[in-house]
Structure 1
Amino acid sequence: MTRQKTLAGLSVLVQDGKLDPVTLAEETLAGIEAHGDQAVFVGLTRERALKEASAASTRLRAGRSLGLLDGLPVAWKDLFDVKGSVTTAGSAVLRDTPPAGSDAAVVAAVAGAGMVSVGRTNMSEFAFSGLGINPHYGTPHNPASTDVERIPGGSSSGSAAAVAAGLVPAAIGTDTGGSVRIPAAMTGIVGYKATRGRYSMKGVFPLAESLDSLGPLCHTVQDAVWLDAAMHGLTAPVVRRGEIADLKIVIPETIVFDEAESEVVEAFEDAIKRLEKAGATVTRRPFPTFKAVFDLMARHGALVTAEAYALHRERLAGPQAERIDPRVVARTRLGEKITMPDYIALLDARDQLIHETVESLKPGELIVHPTLPHVAPPVAPLLADDELFFKTNARTLRNTLIGNFLDFCGISIPCGTGAGEMPVGLQLAAPHHQDDRLLSIALAAETVIRGEA
Structure 2
Amino acid sequence: MTNQQTLASLAVRVQSGQLDPITLVEETLTEIGSHPDKSIFVALTRERATREAQAASERMRAGRSLGLLDGLPVAWKDLFDLAGSVTTAGSAVLENRSRAVTDAAVVAKLASAGMVSIGRTNLSEFAFSGLGINPHYGTPRNPRSTDAHRIPGGSSSGSAAAVAAGLVPLAIGTDTGGSVRIPAAMNGIVGYKATRGRYAMRGVFPLARSLDSLGPLCRTVQDAVWADAAMHGLTAPVIRRAELADLSIVIADTIVFDDAEPEIVTAFEGAIKRLEAAGVKIRRQAFPSFAEIFELTARHGALVTAEAYALHRERLAGAEAANMDPRVVARTRLGEKITVSDYIALLEARDRLIHEAGESISAGELIAHPTLPHVAPLLDPLLADYDLFFKTNARTLRNTSIGNFLDFCGVSIPCGTGGAGMPVGFQLSAPHHQDDRLLSAALAAEAIIRGDA
User: Shorter-chain TM-score: which interval?
Assistant: over 0.9
The 3-state SS of whatever aligns with 1:120 is strand
How far did residue 139 of structure 1 move?
0.2
Q: In structure 2, what is the equivalent of residue 272 of structure 1?
A: 272
Distance of aligned partners of 1:78 and 1:126 in 2 relative to their CA distance in 1, 3 Å threshold: same
Measure the CA separation in 2 of the matches of 1:220 and 1:3.
13
Measure the CA separation in 1 of the matches of 2:48 and 2:252.
46
Measure the CA separation in 2 of the matches of 1:247 and 1:92.
47
The 3-state SS of whatever aligns with 1:177 is coil
Measure the CA separation in 1 of the matches of 2:396 and 2:357.
22
Q: In structure 1, what is the equivalent of residue 352 of structure 2?
A: 352
Unaligned runs of 5+ in 2: none
Q: Which moved more, 1:238-247 or 1:265-274?
A: 238-247
The 3-state SS of whatever aligns with 1:411 is strand
**Contact preservation (8 Å) 1:4, 1:10:** no
Measure the CA separation in 2 of the matches of 1:345 and 1:317.
26
Structure 1 segment 162-173 matched on structure 2, within 5 A: 162-173=162-173
How far did residue 95 of structure 1 move?
0.5
The 3-state SS of whatever aligns with 1:256 is coil
Q: In structure 1, what is the equivalent of residue 295 of structure 2?
A: 295
Q: In structure 1, what is the equivalent of residue 318 of structure 2?
A: 318
The reply to whether residue 423 of structure 1 matches residue 430 of structure 2 is no
Measure the CA separation in 2 of the matches of 1:387 and 1:324.
18
Measure the CA separation in 2 of the matches of 1:199 and 1:143.
29
How far did residue 162 of structure 1 move?
0.1
With the length of structure 1 as denominator, give the TM-score of the two structures: 0.99
How far did residue 233 of structure 1 move?
1.2
Measure the CA separation in 1 of the matches of 2:451 and 2:349.
40
How far did residue 32 of structure 1 move?
0.4
Q: In structure 2, what is the equivalent of residue 224 of structure 1?
A: 224
Give me the identity figure in percent: 77
Structure 1 segment 69-148 matched on structure 2, within 5 A: 69-148=69-148
**Contact preservation (8 Å) 2:186, 2:423:** yes
Measure the CA separation in 2 of the matches of 1:53 and 1:131.
34
Q: Which amino acid in the other structure matches residue 282 of structure 1?
A: I
The 3-state SS of whatever aligns with 1:47 is helix
The reply to whether residue 155 of structure 1 matches residue 155 of structure 2 is yes
Measure the CA separation in 1 of the matches of 2:98 and 2:318.
20
Q: In structure 2, what is the equivalent of residue 207 of structure 1?
A: 207
The 3-state SS of whatever aligns with 1:316 is helix
Q: In structure 2, what is the equivalent of residue 53 of structure 1?
A: 53
Q: Which amino acid in the other structure matches residue 361 of structure 1?
A: I
How far did residue 148 of structure 1 move?
1.2
Q: Which amino acid in the other structure matches residue 242 of structure 2?
A: G
Q: In structure 2, what is the equivalent of residue 450 of structure 1?
A: 450
Q: Which amino acid in the other structure matches residue 222 of structure 1?
A: Q
The reply to whether residue 387 of structure 1 matches residue 382 of structure 2 is no
The reply to whether residue 262 of structure 1 matches residue 259 of structure 2 is no
**Contact preservation (8 Å) 2:3, 2:167:** no
Distance of aligned partners of 1:148 and 1:210 in 2 relative to their CA distance in 1, 3 Å threshold: same
The 3-state SS of whatever aligns with 1:427 is strand
Q: Which amino acid in the other structure matches residue 38 of structure 2?
A: Q
The reply to whether residue 329 of structure 1 matches residue 332 of structure 2 is no
Measure the CA separation in 1 of the matches of 2:237 and 2:201.
21
Q: In structure 2, what is the equivalent of residue 371 of structure 1?
A: 371
Q: In structure 2, what is the equivalent of residue 194 of structure 1?
A: 194
Deviation by residue 1:47-103 (Cα, 9 ceiling, x = unmatched): 000100000000011111000000000000000000011000000000010110110
Q: Which amino acid in the other structure matches residue 57 of structure 1?
A: S
**Contact preservation (8 Å) 1:32, 1:167:** yes
The 3-state SS of whatever aligns with 1:100 is coil
Please give the root-mean-square deviation of Cα atoms over the aligned residues, in Å.
0.6
Measure the CA separation in 2 of the matches of 1:222 and 1:337.
44
Q: Which amino acid in the other structure matches residue 43 of structure 1?
A: A
Measure the CA separation in 2 of the matches of 1:68 and 1:3.
16
Q: Which amino acid in the other structure matches residue 202 of structure 2?
A: K
Structure 1 segment 303-314 matched on structure 2, within 5 A: 303-314=303-314
With the length of structure 2 as denominator, give the TM-score of the two structures: 0.99
Deviation by residue 1:8-58 (Cα, 9 ceiling, x = unmatched): 010000000000000000000111011000000000000000100000000
How far did residue 5 of structure 1 move?
1.8
How far did residue 363 of structure 1 move?
1.5
**Contact preservation (8 Å) 2:178, 2:401:** yes
The 3-state SS of whatever aligns with 2:192 is strand
Measure the CA separation in 2 of the matches of 1:246 and 1:386.
47
How far did residue 4 of structure 1 move?
4.8
Measure the CA separation in 1 of the matches of 2:173 and 2:406.
20
The 3-state SS of whatever aligns with 2:415 is strand
**Contact preservation (8 Å) 2:79, 2:89:** yes
**Contact preservation (8 Å) 2:3, 2:168:** no
Q: Which amino acid in the other structure matches residue 199 of structure 2?
A: Y
The reply to whether residue 245 of structure 1 matches residue 245 of structure 2 is yes
Structure 1 segment 333-344 matched on structure 2, within 5 A: 333-344=333-344
Deviation by residue 1:296-349 (Cα, 9 ceiling, x = unmatched): 000000000000000000000000000000000000000000000000000000
Distance of aligned partners of 1:4 and 1:10 in 2 relative to their CA distance in 1, 3 Å threshold: farther
How far did residue 241 of structure 1 move?
0.6
Q: Which amino acid in the other structure matches residue 8 of structure 1?
A: A
